[in-house]
Structure 1
Amino acid sequence: MLLYKLWRSFIKEILLLKRDIGGIVIIFVMPLLLIITITLIQDSTFKNLEGSKIPIIFIDQDQSEVSKNIKAELENSKTFQLLTNFSEKSAQEAVFAGDYQMAIVIPENLTKDLNSNIDAKVQTIVSSFGLEGDSAKAKTAAPKAKEIHLYFDPATNIGFKNSVMNSVNKMVFEIENKKIYKAFQDQLGTEENLEENKNLISFKEITPKKGEMDVMPNSVQHNVPAWTLFAIFFIVVPLSINLVKEKSQGTSVRARISPTPYFVHILGKTFTYLIICVIQFLLMVAVGIYLFPYMDLPAFDVSGKMFQLIIVTLFAGLAAIGFGVLLGTIADTQEQSAPFGATSVVVLAAIGGIWVPVFLMPEFMQTIAKFSPMNWGLNAYYDIILRNSGIGGIAKELVFLFLFYLATVSISIFYEKKQNAV
């Protein structure tokens, strides 16, 4: 008998959804447009180093060895297009006006003063060991340190700014090291080939492997789970609106006076919207697998992971449904539920790491993110897709999502009983 009532409740929810075809289209189409747009934008950003170059202003007032080395390194990076027909003043004005992202100004006599500085310091060191050297050079005061001026557009991303500054610092550091090494060679009379002097320490990235192939994370692997989760939680809006409609149209009154317990109506909604969540997930995965390769994007690889991903989708769907039921139960009008539901989903997405990675947030926001159901779902997806975890590895996140559903539904049932108590 209980199963029959649950079935009838499920049919009722399907009929309600059929009356709002526009809302259903939005639920399915809006996330697909989001995932395609965001992934294309981010992938083009990731490929920027391989594709179009960033125009920057390069002013060489030194016109000698060091400045030519820096210019050659920038050109060889295949990232920048160097523009040279500027004075420092015009470059500053152009960059600060937002016409260009940055300008690099190499000061006059940089090579000459760097050589003099290094020769003086090396001579001092050699003399301190009691070795013969040019005493005149040792007594000569070292020139003042030179500054390479970097101008950045005030709207430039801080990550890009730090990356460029680190690159310039590295170039200058390597040039100084080679010159210092050469100066010691000259003083000590050795003839070792500088080209053979390699770094004693280097970096090697160790990546996960699939067979013999390295598994390299890409924009698709990040965006498909993130925007799938956003789509799942966006069902909060139609679900809460339908609950408010039931109250305004008297459906909830008929449900209360019927012999069917209220929690059965909640279960009917849960099963209905869980199906919607799974359909959303399958559509997103289908776009990642079949459509993205035609758009010059990496294909979304779910081989051997589909079962685990569907499990995460079901539990994330439960959390979203619980939140929607709570909102629809508390709200009195559609004007309350619709904007608050949409806004709260965007806020949860921001807190949960959908928009900005959690590790980039301030410390107190990182703490808040740990209590976001979207963050639990996102971590579970990432653990499966990027870290190759199994169900055991995401058990904690699944438990949190299920407890969130139980808590929100329990509060909704308690609130409903209290509001209608005679």
Structure 2
Amino acid sequence: MLYKLWRTFLKEILLLKRDIGGIVIIFVMPLLLIVTITLIQDSTFKNLEGTRIPIIFIDNDRSEVSKSIRQELEKSKSFELKTQFTEASARNAVFSGEYQMAIVIPENLTNALNTTIDTKVQKIVSSFGLETDAATHQIPSVQTKEIHLYFDPAINSGFRNSVMSAVNKMVFEIENKKIYKAFQEQLGTTENLEENKNLIAFKEITPPRNNGEAIPNSVQHNVPAWTLFAIFFIVVPLSINLVKEKSQGTSVRVRISPTPYYIHILGKTFTYLIICVIQFLLMVAVGIYLFPYMDLPAFDVSGKMFPLMIVTLAAGLAAIGFGVLLGTIADTQEQSAPFGATSVVVLAAVGGIWVPVFLMPEFMQHIARFSPMNWGLNAYYDIILRNSGISSIATELILLILFYLVMVSLSIIYERKLHRV
């Protein structure tokens, strides 16, 4: 039995050696993809973090509030303020796509805000019976001032919402300080305003690791994601080889030989499992050794190689099972190759390789749960980002292995029915 399995293994190696295109697909293409996609995503992330975005800032108020808003924008180190514009020219520049946004501060914004706050504070103080000299003077109401925000119509909605939230937060903090200062003046208190900090603060807490914090980055996403894509892309050469065996008569010799058909499947399984492991090790090597030379974060797998290897083997089994079923059902290479490549891309898109699952519509998030790539990706994430062990990813491992068993079982059943005499 072992000898038959060994001979089947050697046969698969010979088939792969003759298929140069298949070897390129299996090994070279995933390496090019992981380097290219990681560089693109990391560059995008650095642009958002380190490069100032030029925006138009028009200050028609030229007083306390507008100066505070400008200081906060410059302090954020995210924007480069352009000021040599009128509101009309700024609108044209933004709507034409030359700039992404413009902020226009209206005239007399500070005076209007001070007047409105003084009026409201005096009314509140008076309602408590604390009459002041200023309360005896009637201050006319002032029309609400509007800060105009112009956005390029082609701009991302997430960027628009984040900027609007940031401006609202700045204005809210300025109003709060002015209200507090107005109460101080009305009540005659001398408490230092700078000592009054926010009562509620936010602190981001991520899983601890080596006395530090494990913060996900582009490398930690792309290495496991594109490893899975590479593993599942073996569906293409595997299914093609099965179709070749049919056309060349090899499958007939297998059926009439004393070797059971499942031994033939096991030989393919062991061969392509080795390929999956090699793919994984190449991806990890790129993440550890090459990425630091490309100004990318290094891929840290210290203490995690064993569980990562287990996930790789389980994902490899799922991919092999799918390839075996496709190669068994397909009659020609023209059927197996396009369908195999397309199905892998669809599984990758649905499984969160291209777009994170949480960004998908709700019904797509439910569909993603049925993608074997999503099972593998979640298992990788649990190990890399959440420091989980084998027990924590048992569900994903079981699903991947069951997927392999179901696919292979269907292949054997189909093969028996197809050649039943």
TM-score, length basis structure 2 = 0.96
Task: Call closer, same or farther: CA 1:341–1:98 in 2, change over 3 Å.
Answer: farther
Residue matched to 2:116: 117
CA distance in 2, matches of 1:340, 1:91: 51
Unaligned regions of 5+ residues in structure 2, if any?
none
Q: Report the CA distance between 1:30 and its aligned residue.
A: 1.2
Q: How does 1:7-406 map to 2 (within 5 A)?
A: 7-133=6-132, 134-135=134-135, 140-141=140-141, 143-406=142-405
Matches of 2:154 and 2:267, distance apart in 1: 50
Residues in 2 aligned to 1:165 and 1:195: alpha-carbon distance in whole angstroms: 26
For 1:124, the aligned partner's letter is K
Contact 2:115 2:139 in 1 (8 A): no
Cα distance, 1:89–1:64 mapped onto 2, change above 3 Å: same
Query: 2:338, 2:100 → 1: CA distance?
Result: 38
Deviation at 1:94, TM superposition (A): 2.3
Deviations 1:106-125 (A, max 9, x none): 22222121112211211111
Q: Greater shift after overlay, 275-284 or 295-304? A: 295-304
Residues in 2 aligned to 1:112 and 1:334: alpha-carbon distance in whole angstroms: 77
SS at match of 2:50: coil
Letter of the 1:255 partner, please give it: V
The answer to which of 154-163 and 278-287 deviates more is: 154-163
- Amino acid of the structure 1 residue aligned with 2:57: F
Structure 1 residues 356 and 136, CA gap change in structure 2 (3 angstroms): farther
2:137 and 2:173 mapped to 1: Cα distance? 24
* Identity percentage of aligned residues: 81
How far 1:155 moved relative to its partner?
A: 2.5
For residues 9-53 of structure 1, the C-alpha deviation after alignment (integer angstroms, 9 at most, x for no partner) is 111111111111222022111111111112122222222354321
CA distance in 2 between partners of 1:406 and 1:33 (Å): 32
Query: Does the 8 Å CA contact 1:123/1:137 hold for their aligned counterparts?
Result: no
The one-letter code matched in structure 2 to 1:128 is: S
Q: Secondary structure of 2:114's match?
A: helix
The 3-state SS of whatever aligns with 1:56 is strand
Which secondary structure does the structure 2 equivalent of 1:316 belong to? helix
Deviations 1:304-358 (A, max 9, x none): 1101100000000000111111111222222222122111111111111111111
Whether the aligned pair in 2 keeps the contact of 1:57 and 1:103 (CA below 8 Å) is yes
> Hey, what's the Cα distance between the residues in 1 that align with 2:153 and 2:248?
55
Q: Deviations over 1:188-211 (max 9, x none)?
A: 111222112111221122233233
TM-score, structure 1 length as denominator? 0.95
Query: How many residue pairs end up in the alignment?
Result: 420
Query: 307-316 or 83-92: which moved more?
Result: 83-92
| TM-aligned CA distance change 1:154 to 1:253, over 3 Å | farther
CA drift of 1:412 comes to 1.3
CA distance in structure 1 between the partners assigned to 2:84 and 2:341 by the alignment: 51
Provide closer, same or farther for how the CA distance between residues 418 and 147 of structure 1 changes in structure 2, counting only shifts above 3 A: farther
